[in-house]
């Protein structure tokens, strides 16, 4: 039994928003938003059946493991959780996921990637934050480097990105760094978001909603 009763389907999940409004504010079409709602319901009922996505459910969707500690997953969850109330509502889910849509503005992708690395939310990326993120990404890829090599990666990044040499990478520094290294935001675009389906994040069960060809 799902967390949303079919008898009261019109009640929707907590934080539900009109697909028409969400489509007008994001890169998704109305049909895609409706398909995302089916995905959202599935994910938000995977562990705690309350119609909201909790961190464990988010990690389960990303890594098929609700107990796996992952700095990257934690940061993405925190940024999706726009209200900072420890859960992701449907509107937050759609608006945040829209940033990864191929048609989303590049500026939004750059800003999101910057916030991802700004671990302490100070408005800049420091050396320790960058090192933490580098180590987390290496660990996620099962790559283990010596501390000296990791420190060299951090130092070289600051040489290129810290334009005024103040020991901080602010958003302006980050924008210029991304211009020179566009691959930094490659993962900020998920091509399959143009073909929304029902499994997160690989979307393997296709939606039956048919969109206007001119909208895809």
pLDDT of residue 3: 66
pTM of the model: 0.81
Q: What's the DSSP call for residue 123?
A: S
Q: How far does Cα 84 stand from its chain's mean position?
A: 15
pLDDT by residue, tens only, the chain of 216 residues: 446 544 444 578 888 999 999 999 999 999 999 999 998 999 999 999 999 999 999 988 876 666 667 788 889 999 999 999 999 999 999 999 999 999 999 999 999 999 999 999 999 999 999 999 999 888 877 888 999 999 999 999 999 999 999 999 999 999 999 999 999 999 899 887 877 644 444 433 333 333 444 433
- Burial class from Cβ neighbours inside 10 Å (0-12, 13-18, 19+) for residue 143 reads exposed
- Cα(16)–Cα(103) distance, integer angstroms: 24
Residue 162 in 3-state DSSP? coil
- What is the model's pLDDT at position 25? 96
Other beta carbons less than 10 A from residue 25's beta carbon = 14
Q: Which of 66, 70, 65 is nearest to 54 (CA)?
A: 66
């Amino acid at each position: 039994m799902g967390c949303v009763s079919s008898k009261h389907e019109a009640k929707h999940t907590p934080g539900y928003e009109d697909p028409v409004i969400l489509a007008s504010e994001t890169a998704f079409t109305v049909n895609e938003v409706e398909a995302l709602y089916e995905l959202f319901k599935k994910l938000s009922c995977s562990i705690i059946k309350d119609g909201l996505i909790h961190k464990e459910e988010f990690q389960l969707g990303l890594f098929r493991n609700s107990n796996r500690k992952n700095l990257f997953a934690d940061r993405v969850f925190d940024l999706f959780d726009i209200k900072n109330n420890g859960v992701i509502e449907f509107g937050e889910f759609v608006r945040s996921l829209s940033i990864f849509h191929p048609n989303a503005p590049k500026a939004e992708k750059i800003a999101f990637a910057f916030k991802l690395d700004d671990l302490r939310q100070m408005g800049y990326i420091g050396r320790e934050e960058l090192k933490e993120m580098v180590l987390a990404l290496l660990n996620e890829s099962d790559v283990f480097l010596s501390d000296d090599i990791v420190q060299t990666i951090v130092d070289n990044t600051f040489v290129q990105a810290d334009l005024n040499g103040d020991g901080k990478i602010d958003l302006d520094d980050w924008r210029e760094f991304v211009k020179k290294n566009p691959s930094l935001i490659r993962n900020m675009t998920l091509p399959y978001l143009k073909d929304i389906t029902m499994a997160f994040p690989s979307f393997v069960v296709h939606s039956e909603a048919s969109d206007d060809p001119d909208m895809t």
